[in-house]
A and B are shown apart, each in its own frame.
Chain A
Amino acid sequence: MQPGHFPANIVFILLFVAANGFFLFTVYKLYRIMRLGQAEDRFDRAWGRLQGVATFVLGQRRVINEPAGWGHFFIFWGFIIITIGSIETFGVGLYHGFAYWKFLGKGFTAFLYLLQDVFCAAVLIALCVALYRRFVVKPDRLRYDDQRAANLDASIIIGLILLLVVLLFGARAVEYLLAQGASTRYFPRTAFISVWLSTIFSGLNNETLHIWYSFFWWAHTLVILGFLVYIPFSKHLHLLGAIPNIFFRRFQPVGQLTKMDLEDETVETYGVSAIEQFTWKQLLDLYACTECGRCSENCPANLTGKPLSPKLTIHHLKEHLQQVGKLWLNQAGALEKLETFNPDGALSRTLIGDVCQHDELWSCTTCGNCMEHCPVFIEHIDKYVDMRRHLVLMESNFPTEVQNVMRNWETNSNPWGLGFATRGDWAKGLPVKTLAEDSQVEYLFYVGCAGSFDDRAKKISAAMVTLLNEAGVSFGILGVDEKCCGETARRIGNEYLFQSMATELVEIINDHGVKKIITTCPHGFNCLKNEYPQFGGNWEVYHHSEILANLMREGRLQPVSGMEKNLVFHDSCYLGRFNDIYEEPRALLKSISGLRFSEMDRSRNKAFCCGAGGGRMWMEETLGDEKINNARTDQALTLNPDIIGVCCPFCTTMLEDGLKDRDMEEKVKVYDIAELLVKTVLKEKG
C-alpha cells in the first residue's frame, strides 16, 4: 500500500472524502443549530473585523497575555505550518510523485522544511507543558464539574496532536534517507531535526525504508483524518468557533447592554428563558469557548466561592444547546422556531433553574473581568442579564430585597427610597447653582443617587464642587430636578424600569441644552456615556478623574501641599475595563507629593470588583466562603496602606465596610480622588 500508487490512492481518496464529508456534515449541523438563535446584525465594519482576526487570531493577542498562552501560540502556528505540510502529504496520497519543490523551487522548500521542523519541535514541547499543567500543576482554572470527562477530552486532543507530530517526524526522517542519491526526490538538509532523527533508520535497505515510509504516511494521515472527525465533538470545536467569533465580535462599547424593544406589542416574551432565544452570535460564543478558564480565574464571584463560574456557565450552555439542537435536528426537521418543541418531554431541563441556576445568575457583579480576558471575545454579561431580564420582567422572580429597591426607584428615583424632593439638599450652603437658576454653564455636574443621598458620597460631591470652583470651571447641577440614571435597574434586568427612567432623564437634561456632563460615579458615567445614546442622550460625558487630570495638566489646579502616606489604588470596573480609564486617576494621585503609590496584583484591567456592581450593592451576600468586598479589602491590606484610593462612591462604601469587618477602619481610610485632591490643592486661606 505505498501511498500515491494504485490502489492506495483510491483508498486514500475514499477515506479523505469520507472524513471530510463527515466533518462538513457535522459542521453544517452545528451551523443549523446556531441559526436557531435570534437575528443580530454583526456584519458591519468588515475591515475592522478582519483586522481583529489578524490581531486576535493570527497574532493571538489576548492568548499570550498569560504565560501559558505562549504554549498555545506555538501550537496554533505549528498547526498552520503543519497543515501546509499536510497538503503536500495529501498530494502524495493522490500521486506518489507530488512534491512542493517541483513547483515552489528547492530554495523555498528548504525554508519551508526548516520552518516545519522548528514548529513541530515547538509543538511537542508545548504539548508536554500542557500535559504537565493539566496533570501536575492543576491550576484552578482547569477545574470542571466533571473533571474526568474534561481531562479525557483534553488528553485525546493532546494525544492526537502528539502522535501526529511524532508520526510526521518519522515520515520525514525516512523520506530524507530515501531522497539520498535519488534524483526524483529532494529533501533539504535544512529540516535538521528530521535529518538528525534519520540516524534511527540508517542502515536499513531501500525496501524496508519504503515499508517504514508507508507506515508513517498512513498512520499520520489517519490521525489527521481522525482528528478532523473528532474536532466538532470536543472542546476543540473552538478551532471552528473562535475565528468567526472574533470576526463577529462586538464593536459597541462593552458597557452597553442591548436595548429591548418594549413598544412592539406582538412580543409575548421578554428576556431569555430558552436557549434559542439567545441570538445566533450568543450561540456562536458557545462554540468558540476553549474552556481555558481565564474568565473564572478573574471572576470575583467565582474566586469567593459563589455558585458562579463563567467558564462553567458557557460549558453548560453549550452542552444544553447541543442536546436541544440534536433533538431538534433528529425530530423536528425544518428550521422553525423551537418555542413549543419538546419531543416526549426530552427537554426536561429548563434553561433557568437547571442549566443555569438562579443563584448563578444573581451572583454576577457585571464587573467585566470575564469578557476582558476571554481570548475569543465571548460575551458573558449579556447572557446573564438576558436571563435576569426574563426573571424580572416575566416572572417577577428576583432576590426579595431587590423589590424594595425597585419600588424606591419607581417612587423616589433613588435606590435608598429617600424623598425625591430632598435630592438637591446635599448642596445646601455650597457655592453651586442649579441649571434652573443658570443654564448658561459649560458643564452639568450629574451628581447621581449616591452623591445626592448617601452621607459618605455627599462628601465626594462637595469635594468636587470645591475643586471645580477652585479651578474656575463653569458648571451647575440639576438639584431637585435630577433623576436616577437607572444603570443598576438595567443590570438587575428591569429593562422596563430602566427605559422609563432613561427617557425621563434624557428629556430633563436635553431641556437644559446640556452639551457636557461630569459625573463622579463610574456607573452613571458609563450609563450616560455609552447607553443613553440609545435614548437620544448624546453628550460629552466625563468622569471626574478625567476632568481633574485635565485641570491639573492645564495648571488650573495646583497641589500646594503633599501628604506623607501610603496609598493603594483600587480601580473601578466601570471606569477601567468598561471605559479604558486607568491613567487619569493614577496621574492625579502621583501628582500629590509625598504620597507613596502602590498597585495591587489585581489592578488595571485585572482589577478585582468591590462587589457592588450589577445590582449586587442592593442584594444580600450570603453565598460563598467570603464576601467580595472583604476579599478585595484584604488584597489592599497586604500592601499596608494608610489610604485606599478609589474613584467610585459604591467602591467607597464596599471597601469601608470591608475595613470595618477587618477592624481596620481606624487605621486605614478610603478616599475618593476628589477628596484627596481637595486636601492638597486648597491654598491656606489667610
Chain B
Amino acid sequence: MHEGSNRPTDNRPTENCPTEKRVCLSGTGVTKVFGAGSRKTVAVDHVDFSFNEGEMISIVGESGSGKTTLVKMLLGLTSVTDGDLYFMGKKRDIRTRRRKKAYWKGIQAIFQDPFSAYNIFKKIDSVLLDCVHMRGGRHLPHEEKIRMISEACGFVNLKYEELTNKYPFELSGGQMQRLMIARIFLLRPKILLADEPTSMIDACSRATILDMLMKLRAEEGMTIVFITHDLGLAYYVSDRLMIMEKGVIVEQGAADEVILNPQHPYTKQLLSDVPKLTEPW
C-alpha cells in the first residue's frame, strides 16, 4: 500500500497553462465590515479574485487576516457588506433557502476542526446517506446507495464495514477529516473550500489528507481553495497563491514565483517565520 500515496504526475501544474480554463467563482470588491461607527472592523477589504476550473488556489495569511471571513462569505454563511460574487458566470443569488441549497450543491467546505463538524447524535451512515440524497439519489435502491457510500469510503482509504453503525466521536481526528473528504467525494461539488483542513491533525495524517485533496482535484477536476497559515503546505499543494494581510490581498501569483521570489514585505516576513531545514531560523 505504500504506492497508494503516489501523486499522479500529470496533475502537476505547469507555469503557463496553455488551455485557458473557465472561471467558476469570482468576486469584485468583496468587502465585509463588522460593527459600525468607532467599533467598525473591516475584515475583508475590497478583495478581487477569480478562481478557474480545476485550479488549486491557496489563501495564506496569519490569524485575523480575514481568510475565514472570506470563506464564510463565499459559502453564503455570512452576508457580504459590499461587492459582487459570480458563480459559474452568473451573479450569485442565494436569497431564498431553495436557491441557497442549490448553490451548496456546487460549493462545499471542509473546516478546521473535524471534532465539531459532525452532529454527535447522528451515526456516520446517516451523514453519508444525506450526501447521497442531496445529490438526488433519494429514490435509488438501498443497495445502490450503500455501494456509492462504500466507494466514497474506499476513496479515502476507509472501510465502510468498519464505520457502519458507529458515531463520529468513535473515530480519530484524521479519520473524521477523511470522512469529511468522503462526503465531498459523494457530493461532487464544483468548488471545495478547505479551511485549514490539516491544522488540527498531526503531521503524519496531514500527508494523507493532502493526498486525498490532490486526488479529488486530479480525478474530479474540482476547484480547490485551500486556506492555511502554513506557506510550506500552500506551496506544496497549490498552483496559485494569494497572500492576505489585514483583509487585503497583498500579493498573488504562481506558487513558484511567490515562494521563490517574494515581492511584498509581508510575504517575505511570513516566509522567514516558517521553520526551515536548510537555512538557520
A and B form one complex:
no
- Which residues in B have some Cβ–Cβ distance to A below 8 Å? none
Binding site for B on A (CB under 8 A): none
